[in-house]
Amino acid sequence: LLLEMTNHCLTLFLVCFSLHQVISAGSDEFVKQPQGEPYYVTVGSPGLVLPCVVQSKYASAPYSVYWMRLVDSTPYLVQADSKYEIDRHSCDSCFNLRIKTVDYNRDNGKFYCQIAGPDGFASTSVVAEVVVLVRPQKPTLTKERVETREGQLEHLQCESIGGNPPPEMRWFFDNGTEVTHLAEVRNATAKDKPTVSTLAWHVSADENGLRLGCKVWNLAMGKTTPAQETWSQQLLVRYPPKVTVGPDARYGIEVGQEAKLTCSARGNPPPTRYSWRRTGGTRDSTWTEQNISLTVERDDSGSYVCKAENADGSGEATLDLDVQYGPELVVADEVVVQQGETLVLKCVANANPPTKTVVWTTPTGDTHPTPTLHLPNVRRQQAGNYTCTASNELRLYGAGSVSSRTASKRTRVLVSHAPGEARITVAEPVLVGSTVVLNCSASDPGYPAARFRWKAPGQRDYEYGARFSYPISDVQLTHAGDYWCQPFNDVGDGQANKYKLIVREPARLVKTLKSEDTVREKETNYRLICSAQGNPIPNITWYFNDQPVNSERFLSILEPEAQNCDVPERCSYKVSSSLQWMTGMRWNDKGYYTCQAYNGAGRASESRMLLKVQHRPVVVNDPERPTVAAQLGHRARVSCRASASPEPVFRWYRNGQELSQSNVDFGSTQQRNHSFDVYENTLLLSDVQQTDLGAYTCKVANLFGEDSFVFNLQPKSKPSPASDLKAEPLTHRSMRLSWIPGFDGGETQQFTVEISHDGRVIKTISAPATEPPPSQHFVGIETPRPVEFNVTNLAPLTVYSFRVKAINKIGESEWTQPLVAITSDSPINPSIPAPDSASYDSMTQVLAFQPPLDPNRYCLMIYLLKSSDLWERWDCVSETDKVELVPTAASLRVRNCYQQTLECSEVIEAAIGVATAVGWEVVAAICFTVLLFVLVVAVVGLYCRRHRLANEKKHLVNNGNGVGVYGSDCAKNRQISAPIYAEKTFSASSLGVDRNTGSSKDSGVFTSMSNYQYDGPLVNGTAVNYTDTNGGTLPCQRGAGGYEDHQRRTSQEQQQQQQHWQQQQHHCGGDYSTTGEPGYGHLGNGYTMPVVYGQNFVDMNPAGGSIYASREGSIHSGYSTPSQKRVIREIIV
């Protein structure tokens, strides 16, 4: 026993000494020693080397170096044998320990190198902890099934045997929740002992049905190897119901809506019973359903509790139902306040949630943010409707934002006061015999409402009563005068006012015309008289066939009659009027004469008379249309119409002989227009032959004389050209054309209208031959009536050229001369905004404007100013902010327009910029050069002119007027007579004009050049034509004389002069040909030009080009027209 105690003491001493040495290890005596972290090895792994290198002085006596191992708290001296090796060969001071083969029971512990020396010296290295890795066994649970109640403390153990280092043990529910922090771990004390983890926790209802798992892992398993685990069965936790209410614990809903309250619960065992009860609010209620719904009212607000029950108990949840609604206002319907007192208005608002704002609004729009409005010293102007407006904000379930609710209610405020000024109204005019009502009102009706008193003319006091109207039946002139009205009420009287009643007596004729009268032609001093009466004074107007009488032939005298009346407005005035012929009666004075009296009241009064004139016959056929056409072999009709009284006798003559049935197969019919004594007799020719063509004379005779008319019967032919073509703008997109139709050739004719623009025919339209109907009461010689035709879909402010030709089934006429007209500009629509700015770059031909347009609705109208000072529309372009390829012009204007109607805004000027790189020095040099050249040419020209004049005087002195000049002088004559145009004939073709059609090939402005005629500009919408109808030649001669001498020449002199011209032509080399086009003079070398006589010729287009630009290109340059005035002046000289 003593020996055992001694061994134990020795062992304890060695352990304590070793621990002391270990604690004091790591001194400077060691050059190299083990690492401080564990050495992890596996069983049987070879060659683990633990380093130990000491200072050299400690490597030999008197010091000794050795290794110790501490296994299971027991120290062992390591000796070199079959298990361990001390390495002394690596260096002189090396004592490295190499474990040859690792063994768990032997080597799983701590190793350290130790130095021992004299005098108790000892030093220990860092301890090397060798951990021999061993995998733990699969864990096990002490119990796999857990049955418990909610809140009870439960314990569960997990064990795992073995494992080095000791394993980590973690606890999990199968829903992923880790509860390791609730467990305590007890590590194994030996290799074959278990490591135990005990989990203690209070069971929750949420854990019902879950499984608990224990997971074990250590380093021997490796980082990639999953932990070993074991799981319990599902936990069985009994608990009372857990209740959830919805849709929200605080359920906001608007009054009148359906509230759906839901209740759900979970428990173990499951709930078997549900019930609802209401707490709070104005009434209690209960329900036995799980889910309830109700249409909420305000009283339904409160707390609703749902209860669920099972075998383990019950559970409850509360839902707060908040029934919300907008403001409900309570105000007085009407408040009466005395003027000068304080007005108090109250507005009570009931709302949930409470109102956020309450505002009073006065009739003038002033606002007062207060529920109670105080207005001191109120005036009558403050009466009216006062409005209280309140609002709140509802926070409803399911709404993304707050919902505002507003309510308003009005209070009518009446301020008692006297009425204002009286106002009397009457439906005018007031006519004699009618019924009139005078109505009275007040500028301020006052409060209480005003009543009214009346005072008629001649009354001193107001009549008793309170009526607002004063009726008068069967009005007479005696009712005219001042009527007074007095408004009043219980507070006081208003200001009286008067109305001057004016009674009108419509004009009526008291002396009328005969219904019919007859006079003779050339009778004098004939007149018509009628009288009228009325108030105001009637005016009498005379009409002949419904047209005012001609003041040049008639004298109309109006004579008022004397009146004796004290009150002018109560008088009835009488007037007389006479219509007297200033000359003798004419045959066409017959017709209807009307005397009309009117004074502005009621309807005009009139008297009508038919006047018949006895006169000799007058043939009324159109003298400009004597031609009648017939088809050979068919029947012909020739109608002769004559006005006569008494009835005339018609006779027909041919070649001076009266036609009779014995010598001509003919017949005639006669009819009468009784209104104006017009008779028509028709000559009927059957089976017309060539010999039947020619002149036929119609003679008409009665007691007072006779008249005749010659008709020309010819075969049917194509129609004659129309004449007197005119154009009148109707709108900015239409024009009215009119023309006088020519002879129709015996067949029904129609017309074709040609429309040209910019030298191109853009449309050809067929126009029917419709003429306006003749006047119903027309008396006189028949005249042709114009045909009218409207042309639509034109462009605004655009120049067009129009021509017309007639067509029948036989052929067609020539075109009329072109008529140039311009449409009116687009109207201004104030609602369309004008462009703010516009600029034009003449180098790039780009027009920029601001602001940009909507191209789907607007277009930009562009106007160009031409050299002829004529503004013309170029185009209406649907662009956003700029337009390209705009032709260059002197000035530009723009405006915004509707695309559909072309109504436009105001016009603005476009700023024109010219970009140039030429300096002023270059421009000055060019100008100086041009000026110098002009001066040289002028000096040379002056010298040549003086030389020519001297030769001409000499020629006149020696030879007279008829002597020609030959040789080189002819060339001079050719040089100065007219400009030379590069070997081209100055004719219609050279000007781009078609001589056959008269259409301009260049601009649509020139007319047919056979007469050298221009279309003039528009004057009041009508084209003015300046036409030279004279022709002539300009021979190579230098004789004196002008237009006056030419007029005085006899035909013989002209023939002699012509022979002289021919001789001169021969001597001048044939340059002055006589074969030029008619109407053109000759300029030499085949050049011709028109000769114009007189001094009133106006060149309407001196540039010879178009007066407007085409849309596709720039303005035409045209040709230079020679100056006719200069040529004529030279001839005179």
Q: Measuring CA to CA, which residue among 1027, 1017, 1006, 1010 is closest to residue 1104?
A: 1006
Residue 227 has pLDDT above 80, yes or no: yes
Pairing of strands 705-715, 694-702: antiparallel
Q: Cβ of 208: how many Cβ atoms within 10 Å? A: 18
Tens digits of residue pLDDT in 86-135: 998 889 899 999 999 999 889 889 999 999 999 889 999 999 999 989 99
pLDDT for the residue 920: 55
Which range has the top average pLDDT, 52-66, 855-869, 922-936, 1069-1083?
52-66
537 shares a domain with 497: no
The pLDDT of 916-940, averaged and rounded, is 76
User: What band does 446 get if pLDDT is binned at 50, 70 and 90?
Assistant: confident
Quote the pLDDT of residue 689. Answer: 92
Tokens representing 209 are: 């049905």
Q: What is the pLDDT of residues 844-890, one digit of tens each?
A: 999 999 998 888 899 999 999 876 678 888 999 988 888 998 998 88
Whether the per-residue pLDDT at 1113 is higher than 50: the answer is: no
CATH number at residue 159: 2.60.40.10
Neighbours of 454 (CB within 10 A): 19
pLDDT of residue 82: 86
pLDDT band at 1031 (very low <50, low <70, confident <90, very high): very low
- What is the Cα–Cα distance from 896 to 828, expressed in whole angstroms? 10
Domain that holds residue 546: 506-614
Is the pLDDT at 15 greater than 50? The verdict is no
Tell whether the model's pLDDT for residue 959 goes beyond 70.
Answer: no
Given 323, 353, 375, the domain boundary residue is 323
Residues 991 and 1120 in one domain: yes
When pLDDT is averaged across residues 670-684 and rounded to a whole number, the result is: 77
Q: Does 847 share its domain with 889?
A: yes
| pLDDT value at residue 860 | 93
202, HSE (Cβ side, Cα atoms, 13 Å): 2
Q: End of a domain among 614, 645, 673?
A: 614
Pull the structure tokens for residue 85.
């090796």
Whether omega before 772 lies within 30 degrees of 0, making that bond cis, reads no
Please write down the long-range contacts of 988-992, taking CB distance under 8 Å and 24 or more positions apart.
988/1077, 990/1119, 991/1104, 991/1119, 992/759, 992/1119
Pair 1125, 1007 in one domain: yes
Q: What percent of the chain has pLDDT over 70?
A: 78
Q: Quick one: pLDDT at residue 14? A: 45
> Residue 418 has which token pair?
């006297």
823 in a domain, yes or no? Answer: no
CB 155 within 8 Å of CB 199 = yes
How far is residue 1133 from each of residues 952, 956, 977, 1045, 1056, measured CA to CA in Å?
A: 10, 12, 12, 13, 22
How far CA 650 is from CA of 658, 706, 901, in Å, comes to 11, 10, 60
Q: Find the CATH number of the domain harbouring 843.
A: 2.60.40
- Strands 403-416, 384-394: pairing is antiparallel
Question: Which of 715, 786, 710, 770 lies closest to 746, judged by CA?
Answer: 715
Question: What is the pLDDT at residue 760?
Answer: 93
Looking at 594, 614, 634, the residue that finishes a domain is 614
CA distances from 436 to 424, 448, 479, 599, 1037 (A): 13, 28, 10, 20, 94
Q: Which of 511-525, 528-542, 856-870 has the lowest mean pLDDT?
A: 856-870
Task: Look at 388 and 1130; give whichever has higher pLDDT.
Answer: 388
Q: Which residue has the higher pLDDT, 18 or 44?
A: 44
Residue-level pLDDT at 675: 57
Q: Is the pLDDT of residue 9 over 70?
A: no
Total count of domains within the chain = 10
CA distance 472 to 481: 13
CA distances from 680 to 6, 500, 674 (A): 181, 63, 11
Is the CA virtual torsion 670, 673, 679, 683 positive or negative?
A: negative
pLDDT at 243 > cutoff 50: yes
* Residue 824 covered by a domain: no
The pLDDT of residue 997 is 39
The answer on pLDDT for 1004 being more than 60 is no
1111 and 1003 in one domain?
yes
Whether 895 contacts 849, CB under 8 Å: no
Mean of the pLDDT values across residues 1095-1107? 34
pLDDT given for residue 777 in this prediction: 61
- Assess whether 762 and 799 both reside in one domain: yes
391 and 458 fall within a common domain: no
The tokens for 593 are: 């004469």
674 contacts: CB under 8 Å, gap ≥ 6: none
Domain identity same for 652 and 528: no
Asked whether residue 938 is assigned to any structural domain, the reply reads: no
The answer to whether residue 945 is domain-embedded is no
Q: What is the pLDDT of residues 149-182, one digit of tens each?
A: 999 999 999 999 988 889 999 999 999 999 999 9
Q: Are 985 and 1085 in contact (CB under 8 A)?
A: no
**Quick check: 1042 pLDDT over 90?**
no
Using 50, 70 and 90 to split pLDDT, how confident is the model at 775? Answer: low
Mean pLDDT of 61-90: 90
CA angle 965–969–974, rounded 5-degree value = 110
* Helical segments of 27-98, H only: none
pLDDT at 339: 87
Q: Please indicate, yes or no, whether residues 109 and 226 belong to a single structural domain of this protein.
A: no
Pick from 197-201, 280-284, 617-621, 769-773: least confident:
769-773
Q: What pLDDT shows up at residue 1068? A: 38
**Residue 138 in contact with residue 162, Cβ under 8 Å?**
no
Whether 1027 and 1088 map to the same domain: the answer is: yes
Specify the pLDDT at position 618: 95
Q: Is the pLDDT of residue 309 over 70?
A: yes
User: In whole numbers, what is the pLDDT of the chain averaged over residues?
Assistant: 81
Let me know if residue 745 belongs to a domain: yes
**Nearest Cα to Cα of residue 141 among 161, 159, 167:** 159
Q: Give dist(CA 906, CA 902) in Å, integer.
A: 13
169 within domain boundaries:
yes
Cα angle: 269, vertex 274, 277; to 5 degrees: 145
Does 968 share its domain with 1091?
yes
Of residues 94 and 566, more confidence is placed in 94
Is 403 in the same domain as 460? no
Q: What is the pLDDT of residue 27?
A: 58
482-504: pLDDT as tens digits: 999 999 998 889 999 999 999 99
